[in-house]
Amino acid sequence: MAKFADTFLNWEVMAQYAPKIVEGFFVTIQLAIAVIVTGIVFGLLLAVARTFRLKVLNFFIVAAVDVMRALPPLVLIMILYFALPTVGIKFSGFVATWLALSAILAVPRGQWEAARSTGRGFMQAMSHVVLPQAVRLTIPPLTNRTIAITKGTALGATVAVGEILYQAQTGYSFSYNPSPLTLGAIAYLILFIPVVWFGRWVETRFAWKR
């Protein structure tokens, strides 16, 4: 037991690297918030664009979404961070991870068609029917996506983004002791448990009555 504690719960090592884990904790939160906000904003813009039923525009939107969904997030990060600089486009690790993890949310077309069939104008249909329905439909899965996206920020470690996992791995590399990894695991628990509880509450609050 003493050997286990000295290996995974070495207080001296943990105290040394705790500030870096805290720093990574806040980087993880910042990155997750950036991804979620971007996904919501651009998802809404693309959903509105699709309601104009322009075939060429819709084709490119659907194709882009399908490609983004088909490629693993890590592959997208690698493309943005390592491949694009070869054509003169360079992103930091943070920005590459942020763009790669951004998601696209869709508004069901049926809601839009139903709104327009009642004689409502574009803005009336959008503000009174489409957006309220979209919010109610997307909030439950959005909470799950929030958890998945926040976990996905750990992929940023592959391009030197100083989030939790990166800081924990760096501490392990320098100390030759896995105690920083234990700190990283604790940081993830502190971050995710409230999010899971909040997500469960939101899903219950916004669930459709059956």
Structure tokens at 209: 């009555």
Write out pLDDT tens, residues 191-204.
888 888 887 787 77
C-alpha 154/C-alpha 207 separation (Å) is: 30
Which pLDDT belongs to residue 104?
38
Q: Cβ–Cβ contacts within 10 Å for residue 201, how many?
A: 11
CATH architecture, range 17-205:
Orthogonal Bundle (1.10)
> Is 60 exceeded by the pLDDT of residue 209?
no
Higher-confidence residue of 96 and 143: namely 96
Average confidence score pLDDT of the chain: 77
pTM surpassing 0.85? no
Give mean pLDDT, residues 165-173.
93
* Residue 152 near residue 73 (C-beta atoms within 8 A): yes
> Is 90 exceeded by the pLDDT of residue 164?
yes
Give, in order, the Cα–Cα distances in Å from 98 to each of 30, 82, 141, 156, 195. 10, 15, 20, 9, 20
Confidence of residue 140 (pLDDT cuts 50, 70, 90): low
Confidence of residue 107 (pLDDT cuts 50, 70, 90): very low
The helix, strand and coil proportions of the chain, stated in percent and rounded to the nearest 5, come to 80, 0, 20
Domain ranges of the chain: 17-205
Give mean pLDDT, residues 167-194.
91
- List, in order, residues 6 or more apart from 63 with CB less than 8 Å away: none
